[in-house]
Amino acid sequence: MDKKLVSFIVAGDPNTEATIKYMKALAKYSDIIELGIPFSDPMADGSAIQQADIRALNNGMKVSKVFDIIKEFRKTNSTPIVVMTYYNPVYFRGVENFIKSLKEAGGDGLIVVDLPVEDATDYLNICKKYNIKTVFLGAPNTTEERLKKIDDASSLFVYLVSVYGTTGTREGVSEEALNFLKNTKKVCKNPIYVGFGISKKEHVESFVNNGADGVIVGSAYVKIIEEFGDSEETIKRLEAKAKELKEGTK
């Protein structure tokens, strides 16, 4: 059975129209599109995604426009969309209002990076009400007891942060990351998707061969967007990268 490829880009980088084109390109080889809401203080993100957030915010990207992007994409494409955000934009709009709007736009799931599972009871109830799938993150220093809570609270997959630190492409896959994956598989019932630092087919193969149910890739795409901007070349390269990474899941 094929493992899953989740492809992440920042909504509005470099503009709304480009984001929709990029989503369509990535959707040809991706099982899920993860769409990031740009945030002014993205503490879990490395420099590539931070710069993408800045570009998107400078171009006037707002939460309401992210929902518009999803609606537009949904007119021609059924690939599941998971929105990634920090809690502040959700809280600011009102948790129920945010989740209802996401559902109405055609979103399928939500990752709120800095919402601790211990504080998520109301959020989880509202997500359940609107049938929005939830994803929580586990890291190498997460205890087994907490991993079980994260697993219980996640209804789509558990997002395994494969390294200490922030997002960003890395050269290789560490033994520590593979061991952490194997240990997590013993604890969690949900599918385990691994992210942070994955940018090559070899990385994907390494994680998949050690039990990952899917991989999440962001910085590798965001760097292409940074380099080539709103262009046909970007679309071509995003598609080629997604194809390469998807081949690693087979």
The one catalytic residue in 13, 45, 205, 213 is 45
Per the annotation, the verdict on 118 as an active-site residue is no
Three-state DSSP at 183 gives helix
- Cα–Cα distance for residue pair 53/218, rounded to 1 Å: 13
Count of CB atoms situated within 10 Å of the CB of 105 = 19
The one catalytic residue in 13, 34, 72, 151 is 34
Do residues 207 and 185 make contact, with C-beta atoms less than 8 angstroms apart?
A: no
Per the annotation, the verdict on 119 as an active-site residue is no
CA 157 to chain CA centroid, nearest Å? 11
Q: Look up residue 184 and give its two tokens.
A: 């997590």
Q: Look up residue 89 and give its two tokens.
A: 């934009």
CA nearest neighbour of 222 among 17, 36, 91: 36
- Cα–Cα distance for residue pair 245/37, rounded to 1 Å: 23
In sequence order, what are the residues at sequence separation of 6 or more whose Cβ sits closer than 8 angstroms to the Cβ of residue 103?
Answer: 130, 131, 132
The residues that are catalytic are 34, 45
